[in-house]
Chain A
Amino acid sequence: MKHAGKLLLPHDITPEDLSHYTPVPSIIKRRFGYQCKRCGNSQSHLFGHMPHDACQKTCRYCRNCIQMGRVMECEPLYQGSTSFKWPSFEQPLQWKGELTPWQQTGADAIKDVVISGGEVLIWAVCGAGKTEMLFPGIEAALQHGKRICLATPRADVVRELLPRLRSAFPDVPIQGLYGGSPDREADASFIIATTHQLLRFSKAFDVMIIDEIDAFPFHHDDSLKFAAQRAKKDNASSIYLTATPRKWEKWRVRTKKLPAVFIPKRFHGHPLPEPKLQLIPSLPRNLKRKQLPASVLSKILDQQNSERQLMVFLPSVAMTEWVLELLREEGLAGQCVFAEDSDRVDKVQAFRDKKFRLMLTTTILERGVTFPSVDVFVIDAGHVVFDEAALVQIAGRAGRSPDDPDGDVRFFHGGKTNAMLDAVEAISRMNKLGKR
């Protein structure tokens, strides 16, 4: 059980356990160059050479996945057993909520795929209630004694999902794996992990659910896609969840290579707030001089007199800092949140508890976080970091609660970009589909 489906380095294994593993080659020669069998890297500049003391010659190693320990050509990788029989549960689901008709269609599609294998893309708008949609499928998998992995690109999301799933499946051991997580063993039949952790698994899961397939870093990093592919068994079911599929997935859906289910309606049944584009021709000049245009400032001040809280998205960390300074001079109490911020988790919680009314952030909070009642402004929406997916996700932060299903979404820009137009179009198309 402890060894099932693992793919480990020699020094991760104690000598007593070695008999449970089969050695497999670590770096193989291909027609052009080499490939690391753990992360799939085959780019020559991501391989290093070092004089290896153990074999007294120069050995090749992979520099791409070195954060998870060094893979050397001269040492094999160890593959744990792939045929372990996982326990089945009779009534694992204790969740008492009810799915909306829209959620039910998604849930049925997931359940079918879990039972009969294959893959499906669940294309659901932000706030459609994707997690609840998974419950019947996960229940079916646990009843059939299948091992499940729910992979997501961000550790924050793992931390948020873990308590929700533990309370829905109270009798099932569920482990959450991310860099620095308290669970380390990874021997449960239901695992929630960041996509990086999948590098440690091979042929492990019967059901692979990948949340937010379009998100950074999964979308950017081919080795994570390789790992996700390798971590599942040969006849496994794959379920992909996203609100904003990328070109490649859209193309596969259009050409009927990937079955997809659209869920264009939020769980509370109200349409998505549509973004308003506001042109400020002087914006690039103002930002260069570290000024905030008067119209933006007055909009923020007006907004702060209303009931809702405000999230302002900015393209860079440096910018959040000076904009925050400017707003503080205007007498607004706010906080800024970015990736390297050590008390990010606390600040987000404080904002959720309404301790402060204004939050400046980068694209780090574009997805996976829910605040009941917010307005959303994007300053310099034409910046390259705001691509279509990011803008749709940002717009999706507003109006998530049934008590306040609307919100003011405003993109301040110095000139329209395709990303902005595509995002507005995607949202209005979803709303149109949802009306039917």
Chain B
Amino acid sequence: MRCYICFNEIIPTITWVNVFKPPEQQRCCADCLAQFEPVTPTCPKCGRGDSDGICFDCERWGMGQEDPLKKNVASFSYNAFAKDWVAKWKYRGDYELLFSLQGKLDVPVGYAMVPIPLSEERLKERGFNQSEAIIHMLGKQPVSLLGRQGTTKQSKKQRQERVDSENPFQLLDPINQPVLLVDDIYTTGTTLRHAASLLKEGGCPEVYSYTLFR
């Protein structure tokens, strides 16, 4: 057994259980796992960990309009270690690195899991869609309801540009049950809110979202 992140060997401690049964498959060593910081949400809306009640970013969203996104849940904070991890997984395209987090995530259950689509161009370059990959890793089937035209990366834009940007998605199939949007990082929440507003217009009662990092 090797850690998927640092490639060091993982030696399981011997207990009565694995004397009789083969040990459970581990994909992340304790040292690497300790470097991910779980977030304890203080903003009930977006799940960030450094605010007092509803955070300023959520409050100023849309200024008075109804927020299409009901709630976001995130597992870990987007610290330096997580940044390196995402860079290797998403930008370098190390698909299997994602599985280092398998079984370590606390994801809301009972919703249709909808991935955020990727543009043709980006999909060709990367070879996989990162939110579909997360859903597959969780052992669920993605429900693809959205399409996408735009091509610019969100991570290349400033906050204001992101909030003002036009909705890059289109709705392919309407749905009438609660939905959980899945993505890798929540930064300003623009991507998720764009997707959520379309789903709402199509008749979806409630839209939640889950991201690995916040």
Contacts and interface: CB of A to CB of B under 8 A. Distances in A.
B127 A52 contact: yes
B128 A51 contact: yes
B111 interface: no
A223 to B, nearest CB: 13
Given A50-B95, A52-B128, A63-B96, A45 B2 contact: yes
Interface in A14-61: 45-46, 48-54, 61
B92 A67 contact: yes
B7 interface: yes
B123 interface: yes
Given A45-B2, A45-B7, A46-B7, A54 B127 contact: yes
A289 interface: no
A49 B127 CA distance: 12
Interface of A: 11, 45-46, 48-54, 61, 63, 66-67, 69-70, 72
B129 interface: yes
B94 A66 contact: yes
B202 to A, nearest CB: 26
Contacts of B125: 11
Nearest to A59: B127
A282 B94 CA distance: 48
B124 interface: yes
24 contacts: A11-B125, A45-B7, A46-B7, A48-B95, A48-B96, A49-B96, A50-B96, A51-B136, A52-B127, A52-B128, A53-B123, A53-B128, A53-B129, A54-B127, A61-B95, A63-B96, A63-B97, A66-B92, A66-B94, A67-B92, A70-B92, A70-B93, A70-B94, A72-B127
B88 interface: yes
B127 A48 contact: no
7 closest residue pairs by CB, A with B: A50-B95, A48-B96, A70-B93, A45-B2, A66-B92, A66-B94, A52-B127
Nearest to B129: A53
Contacts of A54: 124, 127
A217 to B, nearest CB: 14
A63 to B, nearest CB: 6
Contacts of B2: 45
A303 to B, nearest CB: 37
B94 A53 contact: no
A225 B24 CA distance: 36
A116 B56 CA distance: 72
Instruction: Name, among B7, B95, B128, B136, the residue most crowded by chain A CB atoms within 10 Å (CB to CB).
Output: B95
A66 B128 contact: no
B169 to A, nearest CB: 19
Interface string B64-102: 000000000000000000000000100011111100000
Contacts of A11: 125
Nearest to B132: A51
A54 B92 CA distance: 16
A67 B94 CA distance: 9
Nearest to A49: B96
Nearest to A63: B94
Contacts of B93: 50, 61, 66, 70
